[in-house]
Chain A
Amino acid sequence: MSSAKNVTVIAEQLQGDLQNISFELLGAARTLAEKLEVGVNAFLIGNNITNMAEKLIHGGADEVFVVDEPELEEYATLPYRRAALTILEHLDEAPPIILMGATTIGRDIAPRIAAYLKTGLTADCTELDIGDYHHKGKADPTKTGEYKDVLYAIRPSFGESLKARILGPWKNPQMATARVGVMEKLPVDPTRKGKITSVKTAFKPEDFRVKVIETIRDLSTSINLTEAKVIISGGFGMGGPEGFELLEDLASIFKDSVVGASRRAVDAGWISYPHQVGQTGKTVRPNLYIAVGISGAIQHRVGMSNAKTIIAVNKDPDAPIFRFADYGIVGDVGEVVPVLKQAFLEKFKQQKTASGV
């Protein structure tokens, strides 16, 4: 069977490191592929990255198509677009499904690929599934029909705080981007075997109309919201950037902790975008999420409601956050945060005494 029929994942790597999202996508693709009774393909694009193909196989891919060219050292829209399109043209037919990450890279390139292929793309999915679909439409009678084994791309839609199932059964590939930290990876299996196919790309001069002058990226110290065990997040109720110093101070007492923020706080310029949790930021699932001065709009909630324990601090007792937090304290954030810090320090002291350290 032609491997073009496989569910396809466009993997993401940064500076030669495969990103978590690549493995999350492979996990999701595997589930879809089993339902469709096909395999999983991965596209791997970059410079000096062929040696990573095997890792994708260990993570769930059956065949990896690699474009490894010096022009692809740093991510740039048009050269990466060209590489992905080249692999697609190399296949004898369009894959049924293409998945990408809803990252700054995936959200940059996926829409262009979809527009080029004139196919549907559902952004920021939180669930993916396969099922049947019956379409009946007066405006488009030619589309009416029964469709088997269609991609269910499920995403939150905030106009009305809904979850919506988006379908595009009329044309392959059916494309979707998945939110980071939502899909489940498979356990790494170093015994898995697969095929690695190298694809040559012929770039065109117009692929280099945008030059990347410099990339300033510090992955080691960059804040890692998706992996943090404790997140102290601030919202508009922090009142200003100095409010976030208070949160940094509280976060500093925990291991694996990081400061997060709501969109309104980022919009206000009090803290940078990489800290943003929610619909337009990161999806997080820490053990403990302390939401300080965050009203709890649906857009924020979808990014953090998977936290094990949520403590909310807000001066407004009617704030929506209290409808889904586990614990709530009504009060002035400037007063509550230092008391919380003292209480946690006290708890740590007791734990140490108890364990005899």
Chain B
Amino acid sequence: MLNPFDRYALQKAIELKRNNNAKITCVTMGPPPAVEVLIDAFDYGADYGVLLTDKRLAASDTLATSYALHMVARHLGEFDIIFTGLQTTDGDTAQVGPQIAERLGIPQITYCEELEVVNKKIKARRVVEGGCQIMEAGMPALITVANSATPLGHKKFADVAEVKEFLRHPDERQKRIKTVNLDDINADPKRIGLVGSPTVVGKTWKIGEIGGSCVMFQGESLQREVEELMEHLEQDEREIGEIINVQR
């Protein structure tokens, strides 16, 4: 499945493509069925896809993942902008993007909400604590796109139909989708997977239910339910101290 945060990255890439006559290559890393992610990206308007798949990649942490992905970028040659999502929904580390930038020696703009390219310069707005920053950068650069960069576009019928069509032709499909392994991209197997990861997951715990006893107010008039809620809150305030501050 396409990581929901990556949809925002793809969306920004598609906007740029429209305004600048650019081409989009989507890169993903995963087992062979992950090719579906690329097809999903084609449906939205991406042009080419690369799937990095290799059993040796299993258990890669963020540092190892960024190594593998930056080797794909090197393998592909010149580029103007690398877009990544802000983070994944499960690992949620937000690390891989900046680590790819570090390894490629290029600047980054993280938490980007808006951007345009004018005269080969990137103008971007990024979110910071308590506000935003307007940035200007040359290319190449890496951009991580914030989820507040709305709205997302929909798949276009014509795009989806076109993708369906080219998938039917093996040679066309091969032109658009490349599958590579670590040897193809000259990656050092010692720097990926378990061996190349400086961190491991030790113990894990299930996050248990908190509190556990929710007092529900239902089945009466709303007025009465809220009155009961207030009575409970007053009782709590007597027991555990202030909950509600006095009125402004």
Chain A residues near B (Cβ < 8 Å) = 14, 19, 74-75, 77-78, 103-105, 107-112, 114-116, 118-124, 133, 135, 137, 139-140, 143, 152, 156-168, 170-171, 206, 209-219, 222, 229-230, 252-257, 263, 266-269, 272-274, 279-280, 287-288, 298-299, 301-302, 305, 308-312, 317, 322-331, 335-336, 339-340, 343-348, 351-352
Can you spell out 23 A-B residue pairs with CB atoms less than 8 angstroms apart?
A75-B128, A111-B93, A118-B63, A133-B202, A156-B207, A170-B198, A209-B137, A217-B128, A217-B131, A230-B244, A252-B248, A254-B248, A255-B247, A280-B86, A280-B147, A302-B207, A322-B216, A323-B209, A327-B215, A327-B216, A327-B232, A329-B218, A348-B247
Question: B129: CB under 8 A from chain A?
Answer: yes
B98: chain A residues within 8 A (beta carbon): 77, 108-109, 111-112, 115
Chain B residues near A (Cβ < 8 Å) = 59, 61-63, 66, 86-87, 89-99, 101-103, 105, 107-111, 123, 126-138, 141, 146-148, 150-151, 193-195, 197-207, 209-212, 214-218, 222-223, 225-227, 229-230, 232-234, 236, 240, 242-248
Contact of A121 among B86, B95, B138, B223 (CB under 8 A): B95
CB of A104 within 8 A of CB of B218, answer no
CB of A326 within 8 A of CB of B211, answer yes
The 8 closest A-B pairs by CB, nearest first: A159-B90, A217-B131, A120-B198, A120-B199, A222-B130, A269-B150, A115-B102, A111-B98
A280: chain B residues within 8 A (beta carbon): 86-87, 92, 147
Using known A-B contacts A114-B99, A267-B147, A268-B150, determine if residue A214 contacts B199 with beta carbons closer than 8 Å: no
What residue of chain A has the Cβ atom nearest to residue B126's Cβ?
A104
CB of A331 within 8 A of CB of B222, answer yes
The docked-state distance in angstroms from the alpha carbon of A329 to that of B123 is 47
CB of A157 within 8 A of CB of B226, answer no
The docked-state distance in angstroms from the alpha carbon of A288 to that of B205 is 28
Contact of A166 among B89, B201, B230 (CB under 8 A): B201
What residue of chain A has the Cβ atom nearest to residue B58's Cβ?
A139
A288: chain B residues within 8 A (beta carbon): 243-244
B198: chain A residues within 8 A (beta carbon): 118-120, 168, 170-171
The docked-state distance in angstroms from the alpha carbon of A160 to that of B215 is 27
CB of B223 within 8 A of CB of A111, answer no
CB of B130 within 8 A of CB of A327, answer no
Contact of A115 among B99, B128, B212 (CB under 8 A): B99
The docked-state distance in angstroms from the alpha carbon of A159 to that of B207 is 12
A161: chain B residues within 8 A (beta carbon): 206-207
Using known A-B contacts A312-B214, A323-B214, A324-B211, determine if residue A213 contacts B135 with beta carbons closer than 8 Å: yes
CB of B128 within 8 A of CB of A209, answer no
Taking the nearest CB of chain B, how far is it from the CB of A220, in angstroms? Answer: 9
CB of A305 within 8 A of CB of B222, answer no
What residue of chain A has the Cβ atom nearest to residue B202's Cβ?
A165
A164: chain B residues within 8 A (beta carbon): 201-205
What residue of chain A has the Cβ atom nearest to residue B121's Cβ?
A211
Taking the nearest CB of chain B, how far is it from the CB of A173, in angstroms? Answer: 11
CB of A339 within 8 A of CB of B210, answer no
B108: chain A residues within 8 A (beta carbon): 77, 108, 112, 210
The docked-state distance in angstroms from the alpha carbon of A162 to that of B204 is 6
